[in-house]
Amino acid sequence: MVTLMATSGCQNAEISTPPSLRYVATAEQVGPVAYRDPLGAVSPDGQWLAYTRDRFVEVIPASGGAVSRMGAGQHDLRQLAWMGNSSDLAVLERTFDRGTQTWYYYDRQTGQHKQLWPDGRWIQYPSYRRLPDGSRRSDLFLIGIDQDMGLVTSPARPVPLTGFAFDAQQGEWLGGSSEILFEAADGPNSKLLYRVSRQGGVARLVHRFSSPQVFSGISASPDGKWGAFVAPGPDGYLQIHRVNMAGGVPQLITSDPTHKTQPAYSPDGSRLAFTVVSYKVLFWEAKVAADL
């Protein structure tokens, strides 16, 4: 289930009353594994919600209404991002073995999609690379883009992280295109939020937390002040939290008894889209007719 949530009133140091939620749409999950969790993203003008359903991209007005579908993609859809015109989307398709990762351009008006770099100056994304000793590690990568023509201006290169030995699992632009907020893992159920310059260097630790989700997703607020992440709440359910980029005690954003994943800030920072997941196995019995 992909849900829009108003976050007005969350500016105080502590949250006394959880914000109200408004149901928008439901996206069925293909299977009970984290990499198949539906993704959701709010358009820059706040008028549309895009989310993934299997290998399709579906778009619905944020106020509710008819759903339009684009796709299907050739592989699993692993990242979803709106372009600045609120009409087009960039979608990362990836094979199960991570051997092929390709960005596609989706046109909301026509429903067509094709391989193309999104319209902007830079694309940053996580991907694996081989180290000299033959081991594999996930790093952040950058691609330079001509924002007028949508052409590649510099090939993909890793963001050099000085003295960093962990897997960088996901990155988000932090209030612009000069700094990146990224999530890393240093062990089972152990996660960290770092911030680093686009040019690389020493990454600064913002927050450490525990979560059993491997790819739960993070999101940075448009003003670069907050980072949203997923971790167990006091009730044991996976809830949405946010932490100030200057550091400090994180704030609980959601509190209903459901598991959450994949938070995404709206362009004005007043709302968050996220996915609610429910893993259920149903057992049925059926009478079998006697042999004739």
Q: Note the pLDDT of residue 63.
A: 83
The CATH H-level superfamily of 2-277 is: TolB, C-terminal domain (2.120.10.30)
Residue-wise pLDDT for 71-128, tens only, equals 778 788 888 888 778 888 888 887 776 666 777 888 888 877 777 543 346 677 777 7
Nearest of 183, 269, 170 to residue 223 by alpha carbon: 269
User: Under a CB-based contact definition with an 8 Å cutoff, are residues 71 and 55 in contact?
Assistant: yes
Greatest C-alpha distance within the chain: 76
Percentage of the chain exceeding pLDDT 90: 24
Q: 241-260: b or e for each residue (b if 16 or more CB lie within 10 Å)? A: bbbbbeeeebbbbbbeeebb
* Run of H or E residues at 229: strand 226-232
Q: How many C-beta atoms surround the C-beta of residue 114 within 10 A?
A: 8
**Sequence spans of domains, the chain:** 2-277
What pTM, to 2 d.p., does this model score? 0.59
